[in-house]
Amino acid sequence: MTRAGTTLDRIAGAGMTAIGLGHTSTHLVVEWLPSPHPELRAAMAEALLTVGNEVSILQVHQGLSLAMGALLMGFGVQIARTRTKVDRALHTTLAGVVCALSMTFFPTFVAVLTTGVFLVLVGAMLRPGENRLAD
């Protein structure tokens, strides 16, 4: 049986899990605070979509945000449990996509955090001692 995750995989996994936990925590805290733009929140609540059942844009936004946080946490756990070189290549590729999306759509600090995770994974791929994973 191959060893699960090298040190760099575990560092990157912990980073991605922390990003997901931070995202989810922030979402939940913001939901309890007064909205700085109540008119926008009201408009999102009133705008309805019918796809099987009727949901508001606000519900879709909240659901996607919570799902994103949960998926980032799960992705972090998977990164930490890397077992093969193929796993690491897939994780690095997906982390690169997350990094690019963060740079395009999110605040700078999120882009910095996701870039850090991506660079740690690239380092794991390039560092000879970190490649003791199964093929």
List, for residues 18-38, the tens digit of each pLDDT value: 999 999 999 999 999 998 999
Report yes or no on 134 lying in a domain.
no
Report yes or no on 82 lying in a domain.
yes
Residue 15: pLDDT over 80 = yes
At 1 the pLDDT is: 39
Report yes or no on 135 lying in a domain.
no
At 51 the pLDDT is: 83
Report yes or no on 111 lying in a domain.
yes
Report yes or no on 92 lying in a domain.
yes
Residue 110: pLDDT over 50 = yes
- The domain total for the chain is 1
Q: How confident is the model at residue 4 (pLDDT cuts 50, 70, 90)?
A: low
Report yes or no on 83 lying in a domain.
yes
Report yes or no on 133 lying in a domain.
no
Residue 81: pLDDT over 50 = yes
Segment 45-64, tens digit of pLDDT = 999 999 889 999 999 999 99
Concatenating the DSSP letter of every residue in 59-98 gives: HHHHHHHHHHHHHHHHHHHHHHT--BHHHHHHHHHHHHHH
Report yes or no on 11 lying in a domain.
yes
Residue 76: pLDDT over 90 = yes
Q: How confident is the model at residue 127 (pLDDT cuts 50, 70, 90)?
A: confident
The parent domain of residue 16 ranges over 7-128
Residue 6: pLDDT over 90 = no
Find the Cα–Cα–Cα–Cα dihedral 38, 42, 43, 46, rounded to 10°.
Answer: 180
CA distance 98 to 72: 9
Of 43-47, 71-75, 128-132, the poorest mean pLDDT is in 128-132
Pairwise pLDDT comparison (94 vs 131), residue with the higher score: 94
